[in-house]
Amino acid sequence: MGKTCAELFAGIDCTIIGNADDEVGGIAYRSDRVQPGDAFFCIVGFTADGHSFAQDAIDRGAKVLVVERKVYLADATDVTEVVVKDTRKAMAVAAANFYDHPSAGIALVGVTGTNGKTTTTYLVEHIARVAGKRTGVVGTVGICIGDVREKSEHTTPESPDLQRLFARMRDAHCDTVAMEVSSHALDLERTWGTRFAVTAFSNLTQDHLDYHHTFEAYFEAKARLFSKDYPAKRVICIDDKWGKELLRRCSVAEDSVVTTGFDPSAQIHPADVAYAPTHTSLALDVRGSRYAFDYPLVGRFNVENVMCAFGIGLQLGIPPEVIVEALEEAPQIPGRLERVSAVCDGGVSVFVDYAHTPDALEKALSSIMALTPGRTICVFGCGGDRDASKRPIMGKAALAADRAIVTSDNPRTEDPRAIIEDVVSGMGAGAGRFEVEPDRRRAIARAVALACPGDSVLIAGKGHEDYQLVGDRVLSFDDRVVAAEELERAFGSDAAGVRAGFDGLAGDGEKPAEEGR
């Protein structure tokens, strides 16, 4: 499949220097991935300028260079240059053109917000399946095309990868696709040129301020998905001021909006909720009609996700009775308040959750504490090379637990102990109620050792991830697997000896454990 330059750049304000009838065989934005016949887009990034790699792209066989300024290179006489104002936007539109606008043939749902995106997209997929649709999912946990599951590198892929993915979904006859849309993706034009049937907003809490710098800039990035740039039906949670502002804007634009929230003025809001360790009983007021049902997810924040998914289902034209039927059999979302299964657990409940923002950690702890007859122990850390300003706030949030263990998350290129020091700086009010263990496995083992029957352990921050990023290494590490192993060690046939050994770990204060390091 190929497109001429004229076809590829249709609808893009550009100047073609060369042959507009040249056929392009593919789209590349990294010179080391250029294939002969590709168009190479010179993306101006934060640390590198793609124009500097133009010669490398030509040497690898690129036939077309897409640039924001004229480049003068050796041996480029047969190369067509296309000059555009913004190579990122141009690449997104060109990618949609190249794959014949695949999102137009799919009922595409875009979900944005700080927390809840993954759970909501999985719930929407499940609802659509029960309604008889062939479905797809794009997001943090991975990619689903029908029954095929794949891993993903980004929450929202780069535009050529995203449009190629949509084309695969279209060709696999997917009817409905639910996608997480990150603020980065919106700001970096990854979704530009994509057509949405429904866009939904969950909430806005502190995250990514290392990138956006201010809450206002963070919000405006999210808000783009609800602007005239992305016409669609809307679902908006109005429990925070950001959702209320989105509602105001969409109302002015006369968009079709379904509002959700605990706020009783929301079109979908709870009339009654009862929380249990294994499920939630919910009576929803949906535009004046009441629907009562149980679903196998726990916690207040999952009520928010269920309401959002309900609203999306309505906007997709799915009858409320079908939505209720689907939610009653809702799937466990990987790494989202996922209970660890072990042959021997000693009466201790261990949950793994992706919570990596202060708000998400607070909500996860609140949900677990409401279901726990004993104490709640929290194991958590913060990622490196990410928003450092939230670290002390995360530490403070963790003090809601009866006991907290600060450990390493994905330190990336930062010193894990320096990250931990940032976290601990916010925990001054909890002296004697937390400790530090930089080794994540030992931290999980310590939490299990501290737990008694009836207690719960929350392991937060990594959720579904089966790796740990340390420097330039990707280490195999899955909180769910490690926790199951440690439960078995602590409460299996040799439990007494193992637990005696664990009692020596880390101590009762805040001094980092040094054994074996």
To the question of whether residue 412 is assigned a binding role by annotation, the answer is: yes
Half-sphere exposure of 380 (CA within 13 A, CB side): 37
- Other Cβ atoms less than 10 A from the Cβ of 60: the count is 17
The CA radius of gyration of the chain, in Å to the nearest whole number, is 25
To the question of whether residue 278 is assigned a binding role by annotation, the answer is: no
Q: Provide the greatest CA pair distance for the chain.
A: 77
b/e sequence 110-145, b meaning 16+ C-beta within 10 Å: bbbbbbbbbbbbbbbbbbbbbbebbbbbbbbbebbb
To the question of whether residue 182 is assigned a binding role by annotation, the answer is: yes
Query: 195: closest CA among 77, 326, 93, 62?
Result: 93
Residue 270 DSSP code:
E
Provide the Cα torsion 406, 412, 414, 419; round to 10°.
Answer: -20
To the question of whether residue 115 is assigned a binding role by annotation, the answer is: yes
Is the torsion defined by CA of 452, 458, 463, 467 positive or negative?
Answer: negative
Instruction: Convert 402-445 into a string of H (helix), E (strand) and C (coil).
Output: CEEEECCCCCECCCHHHHHHHHHCCCHHHCCCEEECCCHHHHHH
Contact 39, 7 (CB under 8 A): no
CA distance 434 to 338: 24
To the question of whether residue 119 is assigned a binding role by annotation, the answer is: yes
C-alpha distance from residue 438 to each of 259, 407, 411, 429, 515 (Å): 43, 4, 10, 21, 11
To the question of whether residue 118 is assigned a binding role by annotation, the answer is: yes
To the question of whether residue 386 is assigned a binding role by annotation, the answer is: yes
Instruction: Convert 131-142 into a string of H (helix), E (strand) and C (coil).
Output: CCCCEEEECCCC
To the question of whether residue 331 is assigned a binding role by annotation, the answer is: no
Query: 117: closest CA among 144, 136, 90, 141?
Result: 141
To the question of whether residue 430 is assigned a binding role by annotation, the answer is: no
For the range 76-79, what are the long-range contacts, defined as Cβ-Cβ under 8 Å and sequence gap of 24 or more? Answer: 79/18
CA distance 383 to 19: 48
To the question of whether residue 60 is assigned a binding role by annotation, the answer is: no
φ, ψ for residue 185, nearest 5 deg: -60, -40
To the question of whether residue 446 is assigned a binding role by annotation, the answer is: no
Scan for tokens 């809601």, then name that residue.
400
Q: In the chain, helix, strand, coil percent, each to 5?
A: 35, 20, 40
To the question of whether residue 461 is assigned a binding role by annotation, the answer is: yes
To the question of whether residue 117 is assigned a binding role by annotation, the answer is: yes
Question: Cα 64 to chain center, whole Å?
Answer: 34
b/e sequence 204-223, b meaning 16+ C-beta within 10 Å: bbbbbbebbeeeeebbebbb
Contacts of 52 (CB under 8 A, 6+ apart): none
Is the torsion defined by CA of 435, 440, 445, 448 positive or negative?
Answer: positive
**284 is written with which tokens?**
């929803």
Residue numbers in the known binding site for meso-2,6-diaminopimelate are 386, 409-412, 461, 465
Q: Which residues are annotated as a binding site?
A: 31, 113-119, 155-156, 182, 190, 386, 409-412, 461, 465
Annotated binding site for ATP: 113-119
